[in-house]
A and B are shown apart, each in its own frame.
Chain A
Amino acid sequence: MSIHIDPLEKRWISVIGGILIITWAVIVYYAAVDDVSPPSNVEVIDSSKLHLASGVGGGEFMEKNLGVKQDAQGNITVTMVAARYGFYPLHVDVPVNTPIKFRMASFDVLHGVLAPFSNLNVMIVPGYVSEITTNFTKEGDFPLICHEYCGQGHAYMYGMIHIVPKDQFKPKMGVK
């Protein structure tokens, strides 16, 4: 048994189909070609033991290991802890126009981080490491803003990224 569909409505249905296919195609194209995909590393860590060398994922987020690191190939990684109410270390220097990998873990509750006017936007869920790579194209000071309610001091949670010219960049932690 078929249903009655008005000819005009049939045309509208093809328009809907067209809109869907175009939208899907654009997103899949950029995901495949430009590797535009959301932060999704599915990596577990013991959030209550970030300060210890032991435990799941232990050591990486100890205080002495936080901050900016550059490896032998020149890749830059920023390791940060999100905790009520700040992103630690509170200040980091990174070079402009360079891919920067951020690795972040929460020490306590749910947090999120946003650097306005960039694609640095990720949830920081206790028990998981958040990894996101971004490229800052403008020099200057950018606040890191916590964008998920994390307690009554939530609005005061911040950090600061200083984006410096490439020739002024000196990784504080030295070459790993």
Chain B
Amino acid sequence: MTLGALPYILALVLMLIGLYVVVAKKNIIKIILGVCILEYAVNLFLLLLGYRHGGAAPIRTAEQADTSAFAAGAVDPIPQALILTSIVIGLGCLALMVSLAVRLHEKFGTFDMTRIRELKG
């Protein structure tokens, strides 16, 4: 199966775009957005790793009484639990980064990192 790694590679491309924004852009808000894109890409990659073809959500209903049949057809629940943690932590980090950017804009009147570096004090 030649397409086996294609979704992983697309997630990698998304991650590299986020990394490019973080490294190459001069605007603080753009850098925060780049961190957001990086987070999405990593979450997506972990989720793709846990999927199986035709897999059902790992939620049991009353009709699925056979445990072994359910366990053979559900997707991996562990990456999902960890991504759930990571999404919410991402929101907290975003709030912290945004508050720092707001303070910088208050002090220097710009989001441009090169100009912030020039203005001392």
Real binding pair? no
